[in-house]
């Protein structure tokens, strides 16, 4: 006698829950609506075509994409290690991986300066050995974005790896596949949706990165001034431009959200 849930029996939702829920929704939606209402629609096309806007947008897209690629190359193996190898102190490693997630990005930027800056522990050596300097360069933007965004990828991919049925990997092993072949031909295809979702989250986080970028890479037009930096700067001088830049970022976010809708927004 399985009781099918009856909507009428459930009664009306209690107002103690409904009122805060609606307030919460309004709180999340109203600022975005404000952005749309106050947007200078008539001058929008002209503003979008301004070289500074295009430059910042291009820089943001390029750096976020490279940062995501870096995160994939380093983060997927890291997630695999966390999910598949019996490391001593694995819990500690996992905790360390998630630190940039909760760390204020500005602090991350300061930390990056101390290590990769010109007088930093590794930065010093990088400059003397290879003549490479990272701070206040486009490469520095990528470093700052990757630092902040990588935990999103690692956590997402590790979760996918843990959820994947490991017996497929065993089946592959009995067929003669080495661990690398197993990873390449079985594990990775099986967790591809998780990697994809992680990469998109990672890319979105990198695109919105502000604190670590401005601290570590500075704010130079054309080389390190990404969209979020441009928005912040424009707000002080030209609020209308800030709105336009914000709209662009909002549009990009919404497109990502729409792309991820099936995986993240709908409940399982």
Binding site for another protein (CB under 8 A): 165, 167-168, 170-179, 181, 185-186, 189-190, 192
When the beta carbons of 60 and 187 are compared against another protein, the nearer one is 187
How many angstroms separate the CA atoms of 152 and 199, rounded? 8
- The nearest distance, CB 183 to another protein, in angstroms, is 12
- The nearest distance, CB 172 to another protein, in angstroms, is 7
> Which residue carries 């009306």 as its tokens?
12
Picking from 64, 106, 39, the residue whose alpha carbon sits closest to that of residue 199 is: 64
- The nearest distance, CB 184 to another protein, in angstroms, is 11
Q: How many CB atoms lie within 10 A of CB 103?
A: 17
When the beta carbons of 62 and 177 are compared against another protein, the nearer one is 177
- The nearest distance, CB 72 to another protein, in angstroms, is 19
When the beta carbons of 24 and 193 are compared against another protein, the nearer one is 193
When the beta carbons of 79 and 191 are compared against another protein, the nearer one is 191
When the beta carbons of 162 and 179 are compared against another protein, the nearer one is 179
How many angstroms separate the CA atoms of 71 and 151, rounded? 9
Tokens standing for 86?
A: 């019996």
What's the Cα-to-Cα distance from 119 to each of 43, 111, 128, rounded to whole Å?
46, 12, 11
* DSSP conformational letter for 87: -
- The nearest distance, CB 182 to another protein, in angstroms, is 8
């Amino acid at each position: 006698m399985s009781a099918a849930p009856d909507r009428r029996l459930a009664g009306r939702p209690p107002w103690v829950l409904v009122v805060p829920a609606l307030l919460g929704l309004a709180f999340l939606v109203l600022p975005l609506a404000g952005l749309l209402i106050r947007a200078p629609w008539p001058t929008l096309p002209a503003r979008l075509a301004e070289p500074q806007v295009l430059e910042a947008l291009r820089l943001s897209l390029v750096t976020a994409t490279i940062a995501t690629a870096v995160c994939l190359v380093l983060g997927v193996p890291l997630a695999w290690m966390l999910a598949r190898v019996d490391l001593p102190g694995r819990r500690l490693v996992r905790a360390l991986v998630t630190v940039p997630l909760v760390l204020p990005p500005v602090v991350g930027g300061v930390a990056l300066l101390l290590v990769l800056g010109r007088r930093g522990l590794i930065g010093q050596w990088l400059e003397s050995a290879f003549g490479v300097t990272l701070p206040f360069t486009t490469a520095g933007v990528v470093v700052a974005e990757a630092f902040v965004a990588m935990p999103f990828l690692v956590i997402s991919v590790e979760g996918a790896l843990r959820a994947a049925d490991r017996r497929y990997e065993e089946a592959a092993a009995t067929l003669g596949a080495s661990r690398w072949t197993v990873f390449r031909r079985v594990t990775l295809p099986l967790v591809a949706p998780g990697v994809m979702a992680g990469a998109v989250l990672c890319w979105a986080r990198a695109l919105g990165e502000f604190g670590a970028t401005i601290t570590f890479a500075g704010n130079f037009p054309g080389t390190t001034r990404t969209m979020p930096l441009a928005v912040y700067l424009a707000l002080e001088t030209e609020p209308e431009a800030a709105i336009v830049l914000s709209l662009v970022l909002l549009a990009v976010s919404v497109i990502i959200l729409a792309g991820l809708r099936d995986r993240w927004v709908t409940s399982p």
